[in-house]
Amino acid sequence: MRHGAWITVSVVVAVAVGLAAAQDNGYALKDYMPRAVGSIWSMQPAGGGQRTTLEVLPPEDINGHQVSALVTKSPDGTVRMGTYETVDADSYIVYGSLFVAGPGGPGGGPQGPAPDEPRKVLHDPPARFPGTLKVGETYEATFSSTGGRRPAQVTMKITLEAVESVTVPKGTFDGCLKVVTSTTRGQREMKRTTWYAKGVGPVKTERVGRNGLANVTELVEYKLGETP
């Protein structure tokens, strides 16, 4: 084999070894979950329908920590739900959530119109997960939720189920992390699946409702905020 061919083979082997090492070490969530203030992702239901937006709001003080909320907004700008969370090289921490009570809200029921402001529910202690996930592994945190109608023990699990290609209205994104989040409170379990593209953020979400039907949204446009 000629010298040039050996160089080509060596490069291919080095790249393959590098990719295998990256997979063995896991995937850093901060590379897939941008959280700069002002970031906006416009999502549309699969098959068409009204768009919603995911937005990163300015940070608030949550028990002495400056934490931004990642919120879902209706077309009229009303906050429907959200989570207070941080992502860095070492950890992914969920400090609490926002939800709208009343008809149509995640905590809804026949109580009448939803409040003007969503209800804040904090986790005690915050749900802490590794900043790097490995395919096929599940990570779990247990906490007490405060701020709702009554305190409750909650278990949250996140699983990096796969790394795969996803096609949405914005285009095709390779190497997306398929992250499944399961939250169990009493006998009730809520499950959400999100596909994150590196350097982009969420490109597809799937949430299973109480009726067992999946609500799927897909990325149409996005704009990342500037990291200070």
Nearest of 134, 104, 121 to residue 185 by alpha carbon: 121
Predicted confidence (pLDDT) per residue in 179-197, tens digit: 999 999 887 888 999 999 9
Nearest of 216, 195, 220 to residue 206 by alpha carbon: 216
Instruction: Give how many domains the chain has, as a whole number.
Output: 1
**Residue 2 falls within a domain, yes or no?**
no
Read off the pLDDT of each residue in 162-181 and give the average, rounded to a whole number: 98
**Residue 25 falls within a domain, yes or no?**
no
> Residue 153's domain is classified under what CATH number?
2.40.360
**Residue 81 falls within a domain, yes or no?**
yes
pTM: 0.83
**Neighbour count for residue 42 (Cβ, 10 Å):** 18
| DSSP β-bridge partners for residue 152 | 145
Lowest mean pLDDT among 14-28, 141-155, 187-201: 14-28
Find the helix or strand (DSSP H, E) in which 41 lies.
Answer: strand 40-45
Predicted confidence (pLDDT) per residue in 57-113, tens digit: 999 999 999 999 999 999 999 999 999 999 999 999 999 998 876 544 444 443 444
Q: Which residues of 64-103 are buried (b: 16+ CB within 10 A; e: fewer)?
A: eeebbbbbbbeeeeebbbbbbbbbeeeebbbbbbbbbbee
**Residue 212 falls within a domain, yes or no?**
yes
Q: Which domain holds residue 62?
A: 30-223
